[in-house]
Amino acid sequence: MISRLWHFWPWLILITTGTVWGLSFSLTKLATNTGAAVLGIAFWQTLLSGTFLLIYALIRNGSLGIKRHHLGLILVIALSGVLLPGIIFYSASRYVQPGILSIADTLVPMLTYGMALLIRLENISYIKLLGLLAGAIGILLLVLPESSLPNERAVFWVLMSCFGAASYAFENLIIDRYQPDDLGPIRISVGMNLVAALIILPLAIYFDHLFIPHFPLGQLEWSILGIAMISAVAYSSFVFLIVSAGPVFASQVGYMVTLSGVFWGILIFDDQYSTSVWLALLVMLVGLTLVRPRRDKTPVPPSLPSGVKPFILDQGIDHKTQRVDSD
């Protein structure tokens, strides 16, 4: 009986991780709805996320293990994977429903394939090209029908969120191409969050965006804390799934993130969507299916978190998931 239940634990982790990760879009809107400045929110979120993951890395390894020659890579992914997309999505959340942002975020794996194809890191796959086309159609279904979005400002920020997704895709390519063997994804996440916080801090001070959290904690503080916890815990759970159940299985988290992002928005904000938005959701999920990894490795026994960045290219999966003992 216990052995049978053991086989269901990856599904439990996958569903829980995706559902919690999808909540981050609504928490982002709760934070920005307080009127707090975007750079201030971004600073505290990156600082807390980096600190949580730093504590985990120190507990497991006794040291962070980031060396001087890692700093250039960490700086690039801090800019492309945290700073730029973070500011875009925080700004967009003021004008766009969280469910729609979660749909737009589904572009990441599609754009990752498109960029990889342009620089010849991937071979032409007509199935994946159809997935890329589905992503474009999904965005058009969001921005063209007048019933999809409330105003032109929302249309602008949905289009800007596509640039945020493209920045995430660029980050994926950089990690897949240049991640060193002695630096795993958890340590990379520590570095990129803390470096991003260091970059954001002087900008937040200069533009008078920095604020001090209030105690007892209010809506703003709880929202930022929730986003930071989700960023740290959900990401760790994701890489745990990769090494314990395989990258193809773990990639299904993307479906749960998108779906839960939509339904958390309905639950928390009573959001209502037009037919074109639901159709865009369906088309984007089809696109996600078409570009997800096709190869998997034989699942290994559960181990501590390690693995690859979400939506990494097929050709890099087998190599990186073999490093199960490195954070």
Residue ranges of the domains in the chain?
A: 36-212+224-321
Q: Is a pLDDT exceeding 60 seen at residue 305?
A: no
pLDDT digits (tens, 9 = 90+) for 230-274: 988 887 788 778 767 776 677 788 899 999 999 999 999 999 999
Residue 192 structure tokens: 């990129």
pLDDT at 176: 81
Cβ-Cβ contacts under 8 Å for 126 (sequence gap 6 or more): none
Q: What is the pLDDT of residues 110-141, one digit of tens each?
A: 998 899 999 888 888 999 999 999 999 999 99
Question: Average pLDDT, whole number, for the chain?
Answer: 85
Neighbours of 193 (CB within 10 A): 28
Task: Fill in the amino acid letter for 31.
Answer: A
Per-residue pLDDT band at 218 (split at 50, 70, 90) = very high
Q: Which residues contact 147 (CB under 8 A, 6 or more apart)?
A: 274, 275, 276
Give me the mean pLDDT over the 184-203 stretch. Answer: 93
For the entire predicted model, the pTM comes to 0.86
pLDDT computed for residue 295 by the predictor: 57
